Structure 1
């Protein structure tokens, strides 16, 4: 394909992805009341468990509307993830070989449910994170949570865990495509742990070590799980190659 054809193809893929996100935003705005109620629930549970006043506060006139738009956009990105992930790989796939295309399709098939599962896991641990982090406040104090910063906390938490679930699949894809060996993955474990630590430090909205490690630990476990899958694949590939060498020698 010429450069112009690539640009036309890119524009087409971006338009489809953007349209999917916009439609997802419409659905997200419709369910924003339910999402907002779910966001407030951990705060209500916090007030009941810790015996303190806790509430979600809107500090300016437009903050309530801004929060609904943020909720709509976040829901739109999550529910449209199968579409824009596919469009991303559909743009890359024409330049891949046949077996690499198969791996790319496998990546999308695995990445979409894992990303959604990661987002669900982030949503599941949200109440525990809220209770844990606000529990450091002295007794007798009031938890007045700003709506914008609270939603930023929820968004970063959910997306960080969603991305964390997908990254190991990317490593396995590179291994299956012959780009990255299991040995290389294992040798880079120090760099990987450092990168994971930096990522969780940036992604974690709260400035505390505990919440950072709560995100970093599952990411490290998933990294070594990907390394284990890559090692099994490399061992199987070596056995297949040895059998071919024996057959050729005979």
Structure 2
């Protein structure tokens, strides 16, 4: 190409395409951040109420006269705001995932889109289900157990920041554990496993579920079983999803 040739070179075209993609990515990330900030601003006035609701599984099972405490000067102000941010992120997650999907979907093939859409929706729903399961089922049983084993003469009064960190960790752990069907389908989609291998490995999956549950949950048998059993059931859901979504290639 001569200096007077107006046609762009291949490098210029690649650079221009990359620049346009970066602009689009920035635009979509800004939209997601704006939604997150708007939700956060709406939740700030009710941050204390949100924390009271979050603390119910523990407060309702504490001994008579016991209560949550704040060991740091700014904790009564900062901790509810921190919770409000987590709740805002929780609420805004569908919008965040949509923006990311809108950015990457044009570069996917049709069969990849067909598989990715249900996986994205399922991962979001399962994560929410895991958090709800932890809050409504596991945490009340775990706190009841911890209250029962508290030594005599020891006052059970938990710091509000430590409690929030513990609950967020539980939500994150249970949310991830409930992603078993999505993980199984992805492993099958990339060819690491298939329906036959998953069926034969059911015993290993059960042992793994109980091992993960023993590591994540509070130190009582009931909480461990409460997580391990749903994980085993979700493994079976993943196996059924593999058989339904991923058809084996026909032999010639």
Category of TM-score, reference length = shorter chain = 0.7 to 0.9
Q: Is the 8 A contact 1:46 1:54 kept in 2?
A: no
Q: Quote the residue 2:132 is aligned against.
A: 120
Q: What SS does the aligned partner of 2:158 have?
A: strand
Q: What SS does the aligned partner of 1:141 have?
A: coil
Q: CA deviation at 1:166?
A: 3.0
Q: 1:82 to 1:200 in 2, by over 3 A?
A: farther
Question: Could you report, residue by residue, the CA deviation over 1:127-183 in whole angstroms, capped at 9, with x for unpaired residues?
Answer: 222212232212343111011111111111122222322342243255467775324
Q: Does 1:20 align with 2:35?
A: yes
Q: Does 1:38 align with 2:38?
A: no
Q: CA deviation at 1:108?
A: 2.5
**Equivalents in 1 of 2:92, 2:131: separation in Å?**
13
Q: CA deviation at 1:228?
A: 3.2
Q: Does 1:61 align with 2:76?
A: no
Q: 1:30 to 1:104 in 2, by over 3 A?
A: farther
Q: CA deviation at 1:194?
A: 4.8
Q: What SS does the aligned partner of 2:166 have?
A: helix
Q: Quote the residue 1:87 is aligned against.
A: 99
**Equivalents in 2 of 1:95, 1:192: separation in Å?**
37
**Equivalents in 2 of 1:180, 1:214: separation in Å?**
27
Query: Structure 2 matches for 1:96-245, cutoff 5 A?
Result: 96-125=108-137, 126-173=139-186, 175=188, 181-186=194-199, 190=204, 194=208, 197=211, 201=215, 204=217, 206=218, 208=219, 210=221, 211=223, 214-234=226-246, 237-238=247-248, 241=250
The alignment of Structure 1 onto Structure 2 pairs a total of residues equal to: 234
Q: CA deviation at 1:229?
A: 2.6
Structural RMSD (CA): 3.2
Q: Is the 8 A contact 1:32 1:71 kept in 2?
A: yes
Q: Which structure would you say has the larger Rg? A: 2
Q: 1:199 to 1:76 in 2, by over 3 A?
A: farther
Question: Could you report, residue by residue, the CA deviation over 1:52-83 in whole angstroms, capped at 9, with x for unpaired residues?
Answer: 44210001210111211211111011111111
Q: What SS does the aligned partner of 2:179 have?
A: helix
- TM-score under structure 1 length normalisation: 0.76
Q: Is the 8 A contact 2:213 2:227 kept in 1?
A: no
Q: What SS does the aligned partner of 1:56 have?
A: coil
Q: What SS does the aligned partner of 2:60 have?
A: helix
**Structure 2: where are the runs of 5+ without partners?**
1-13
**Structure 1: where are the runs of 5+ without partners?**
246-250
- TM-score under structure 2 length normalisation: 0.76
